[in-house]
């Protein structure tokens, strides 16, 4: 960035603040330029800011601090920020937010952030009384916080295994608790971010996954191992049951992680090899042999068989497969002698996308989706499939069941319905458990609608809108439209509006586009926005925005788009293809420089979704989604805010940092490019309520300043 451009930019960031105040805003730092050129299949690609990949570079932290100081001064000066923050704090503080529930024996475990609390806690309900089991906030300091990453109660509910990490890093340390007394056992196991523990029936021990790669290196998630821990023993002596090269008969890639799965009342264990794909490679072996380290694994399904879910029920093995049936069907085979070729179809493919299942005493509960909204079915022990009516249109975040009890537990939420824990009775009726108290938030002033935009190829792209009733559709309303479209995940299905109601209160329309690349309509919808088809993802978003303009909801001068993580691809490429269509763009911990995935710890494992840099087709696909490399000097870009957390294990901070530097040097619009940095947060999974409140207030204030001038 030249000095002249820097001066122009410094004047522009005043936004609606006074000219006098603008002089007090520290300028954004001019990033050091040290070009590095890479050649891929004869094509040279220049990276101006490669040095940012080295977090030990002496300029790195000063650069982040100066960028954040600049962003903070701009954001804190916005006139709507304080009003928005107060409303957001009220909205988030009044809501108790559940995260997970599990029934084990006579105990009911549930993870929830109580109303007013700053982070999630784990509770147990027993004999009609609730008590706190794990309270990570008790371990917080003035400069650091602890989060509960994952947990699993033993089958009889007597023991609990769980992971804790600091500052949103997700770098879990495994601990074990005696549930009756609350005593924490002496065992500690590090490097258990993706432990996924599976208990033995007698609650005496569990299988788990352990990372072996050094933290904050590209090897972090490669070559993880599967081990077994017997309670009361030294974790350092936990037997190794699977790693790459351990068993000559089990050959797999370094990006795949081994997990050993169990189920109550089954003499079979499963070896599951998983990577970023929904599909798994699955083997089976007698559980007694697995525990002894003498398993002779039988192949159940390979990746090409497209098995995305499994359920063990005694000697029966149920497999959810999308092979030649992109919305999924359910197959049944023998757990002792599995054969896909001889498997019986027990639930045929339908218009519903099958997402998951949970085993109860009265049958198998199936969680499904139809373009976004959820559906629930039960496959009874008699083989009859029934549909269970939901109390409102919404999203089943999960379905949990106990194989020893009839019925199930579900987490359900809607656009204007806060998330709650619901019970499903054996009679097929759903009722609110009351575990999550209803907040004192009146949503009667808001409305929602679901619309469809027509993409360039004629595909109908669904999107949902939330706004205040009575809003005049004159094309002048500020709008904030979010999209994701990756991994076959349905990222934006009905979920309580919560903090976004503060933005709606200011006359804004909040929207969510179900673009291709997600899984709203099954595997075909995913593939239509993957690899060489990835441009459909951001062009679907563009189509939705154009449709909103045509219908009078908003206009380019009032339109903002946003997305998080892999949604950074969607935001970045839409921004570059149609800078004229948006007034503002917000990228939350966004992935902007995919060509450099080789430099981050969450890189190589992503190759099945994005392509491999060592492959010509993979390079072409990666380059097409690399928004950092496709910034063009002299372009009049809209106002942009990027966010990052320095402990982010999923999207390295160099992605938003490079993108910010490149945009600041390239834009000719005079509009702000801000880099907001959280120094004690990561990808958002472990962020506190206060951190989420502050980021939301900054985001909404920034959007309003650019779409309304206020």
Tell whether 120 and 74 lie within a shared domain. Answer: no
Domain containing residue 618: CATH number: 3.40.50.1820
Confidence of residue 574 (pLDDT cuts 50, 70, 90): very high
Mean pLDDT across 169-193: 97
Mean pLDDT across 147-164: 97
Per-residue pLDDT at 22: 52
Domain containing residue 193: CATH number: 2.130.10.120
Q: Range of 397's domain?
A: 361-438
- Spatial separation of the C-alpha atoms in residues 433 and 431, rounded to whole Å: 6
Assess if residue 7 is contained within a domain.
no
Residue 618 has pLDDT above 60, yes or no: yes
Assess if residue 389 is contained within a domain.
yes
- Spatial separation of the C-alpha atoms in residues 299 and 306, rounded to whole Å: 14
For the record, the structure tokens of 116 come out as 């007013």
For residue range 290-299, what is the model confidence (pLDDT) as tens digits? 999 999 999 9
DSSP symbols for 526-578: HHTTSGGGTHHHHHHHHHHHHHHHHTTS--GGGEEEEEETTHHHHHHHHHHH-
In contact, 112 and 132? CB cutoff 8 Å:
no
For residue range 503-520, what is the model confidence (pLDDT) as tens digits? 999 999 999 999 999 999
Tell whether 569 and 494 lie within a shared domain. Answer: yes
For residue range 679-698, what is the model confidence (pLDDT) as tens digits? 888 887 778 889 999 999 99
Per-residue pLDDT at 679: 86
Please tell me the least confidently modeled range out of 47-51, 52-56, 213-217: 213-217
Tell whether 537 and 560 lie within a shared domain. Answer: yes
Q: What is the 8-class DSSP label of residue 229? A: E
Mean pLDDT across 164-187: 96
Per-residue pLDDT at 685: 73
Tell whether 485 and 549 lie within a shared domain. Answer: yes
Tell whether 108 and 194 lie within a shared domain. Answer: yes
For residue range 69-85, what is the model confidence (pLDDT) as tens digits? 999 999 999 999 999 99
Tell whether 543 and 610 lie within a shared domain. Answer: yes
Tell whether 368 and 494 lie within a shared domain. Answer: no
Of the candidates 463, 683, 647, the one whose C-alpha atom is nearest the C-alpha of residue 565 is 683
Per-residue pLDDT at 630: 97
Confidence of residue 15 (pLDDT cuts 50, 70, 90): very low
Where a domain ends, among 194, 218, 238?
Answer: 238
Cβ-count burial of 219 within 10 angstroms (0-12 exposed, 13-18 middle, 19+ buried)? middle
Assess if residue 68 is contained within a domain.
yes
Where a domain ends, among 212, 238, 264?
Answer: 238
Tell whether 428 and 454 lie within a shared domain. Answer: no
Tell whether 498 and 393 lie within a shared domain. Answer: no
Tell whether 121 and 44 lie within a shared domain. Answer: no
Assess if residue 324 is contained within a domain.
no
Q: What is the 8-class DSSP label of residue 326? A: T
Mean pLDDT across 435-449: 95
Q: How many structural domains comprise the chain? A: 3
Tell whether 56 and 196 lie within a shared domain. Answer: no
Residue 2 has pLDDT above 80, yes or no: no
Assess if residue 677 is contained within a domain.
yes
Assess if residue 668 is contained within a domain.
yes
- Spatial separation of the C-alpha atoms in residues 121 and 133, rounded to whole Å: 8
Of the candidates 388, 387, 303, the one whose C-alpha atom is nearest the C-alpha of residue 347 is 387
Assess if residue 29 is contained within a domain.
no
Tell whether 86 and 105 lie within a shared domain. Answer: no
Where a domain ends, among 217, 238, 259?
Answer: 238
Assess if residue 422 is contained within a domain.
yes
Mean pLDDT of the chain: 94
Give, in order, the Cα–Cα distances in Å from 394 to each of 266, 357, 441.
34, 18, 18
């Amino acid at each position: 960035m030249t000095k002249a451009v820097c001066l122009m930019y410094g004047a522009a960031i005043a936004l609606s603040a006074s000219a006098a105040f603008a002089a007090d805003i520290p300028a954004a730092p001019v990033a050091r330029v040290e070009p590095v050129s890479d050649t891929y299949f004869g094509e040279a690609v220049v990276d101006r800011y490669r040095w940012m990949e080295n977090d030990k570079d002496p300029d790195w932290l000063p650069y982040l601090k100066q960028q954040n100081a600049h962003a903070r001064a701009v954001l804190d000066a916005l006139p709507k920020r304080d009003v928005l923050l107060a409303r957001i704090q009220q909205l988030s503080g009044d809501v108790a937010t559940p995260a997970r529930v599990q029934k084990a024996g006579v105990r009911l475990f549930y993870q929830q952030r109580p109303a007013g609390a700053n982070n999630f806690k784990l509770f147990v309900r027993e004999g009609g009384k609730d008590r706190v089991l794990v309270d990570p906030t008790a371990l917080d300091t003035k400069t650091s916080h602890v989060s509960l990453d994952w947990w699993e109660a033993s089958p009889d509910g007597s023991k609990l295994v769980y992971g804790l990490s600091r500052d949103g890093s997700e770098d879990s340390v495994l601990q074990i608790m005696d549930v009756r007394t609350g005593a924490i056992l002496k065992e500690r196991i590090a490097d258990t971010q993706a432990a996924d523990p599976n208990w033995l029936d007698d609650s005496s021990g569990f299988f788990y996954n352990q990372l072996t790669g050094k933290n904050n290196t590209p090897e972090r998630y490669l070559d993880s191992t599967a081990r077994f821990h017997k309670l009361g023993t030294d974790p350092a002596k936990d037997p190794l049951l699977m790693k790459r090269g351990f068993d000559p008969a089990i050959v797999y890639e370094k990006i795949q992680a081994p997990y050993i799965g169990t189920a109550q009342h089954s003499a079979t264990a499963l070896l599951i090899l998983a990577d970023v794909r929904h599909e798994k490679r699955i083997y089976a072996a007698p559980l007694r042999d697995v525990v002894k380290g003498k398993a002779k694994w039988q192949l159940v399904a390979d990746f090409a068989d497209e098995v995305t879910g499994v359920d063990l029920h005694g000697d029966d093995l149920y497999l959810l497969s999308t092979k030649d049936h992109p919305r999924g069907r359910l197959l049944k085979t023998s757990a002792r002698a599995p054969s896909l070729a001889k498997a019986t179809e027990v639930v045929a493919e339908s218009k519903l996308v099958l997402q998951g299942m949970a085993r109860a005493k009265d049958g198998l509960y199936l969680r499904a989706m139809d373009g976004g909204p959820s559906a629930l079915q039960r496959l009874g022990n008699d083989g009859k499939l029934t549909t269970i009516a939901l109390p409102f249109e919404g999203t089943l975040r999960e379905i949990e069941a106990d194989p020893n009890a009839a019925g199930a537990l579900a987490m359900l939420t809607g656009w204007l319905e806060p998330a709650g824990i619901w019970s499903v009775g054996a009679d097929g009726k759903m009722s609110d458990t009351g575990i999550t108290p209803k907040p004192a938030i009146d949503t009667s002033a808001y409305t929602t609608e679901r619309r469809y935009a027509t993409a360039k190829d004629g595909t109908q792209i669904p999107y949902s809108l939330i706004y205040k009733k009575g809003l005049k559709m004159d094309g002048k309303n500020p709008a904030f439209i979010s999209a994701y479209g990756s991994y076959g995940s349905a990222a934006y299905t009905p979920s309580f509006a919560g903090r976004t109601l503060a933005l709606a209160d200011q006359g804004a329309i909040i929207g969510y586009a179900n673009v291709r690349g997600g899984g709203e309509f099954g595997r075909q919808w995913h593939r239509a926005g993957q690899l060489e088809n990835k441009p459909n993802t951001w062009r679907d978003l563009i189509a939705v925005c154009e449709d909103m303009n045509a219908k009078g909801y908003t206009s380019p001068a009032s339109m903002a788009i946003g997305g998080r993580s892999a949604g950074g691809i969607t935001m970045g490429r839409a921004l570059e293809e149609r800078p004229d269509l948006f007034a503002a763009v917000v990228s939350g911990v966004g992935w902007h420089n995919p060509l450099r995935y080789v430099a981050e710890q969450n890189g190589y494992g992503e190759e099945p979704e994005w392509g491999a840099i060592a492959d010509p087709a993979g390079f072409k696909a990666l380059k097409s989604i690399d928004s950092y490399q496709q910034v063009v000097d002299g372009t009049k870009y809209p106002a942009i805010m990027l966010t990052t957390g320095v402990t982010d294990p999923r999207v390295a901070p160099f992605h938003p940092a490079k993108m910010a530097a490149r945009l600041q040097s390239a834009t000719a619009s005079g509009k702000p490019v801000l880099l907001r940095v959280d120094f004690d947060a990561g990808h958002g999974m472990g962020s506190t309520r206060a951190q989420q409140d502050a980021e939301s207030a900054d985001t909404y204030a920034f959007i309003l300043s650019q779409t309304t001038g206020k």
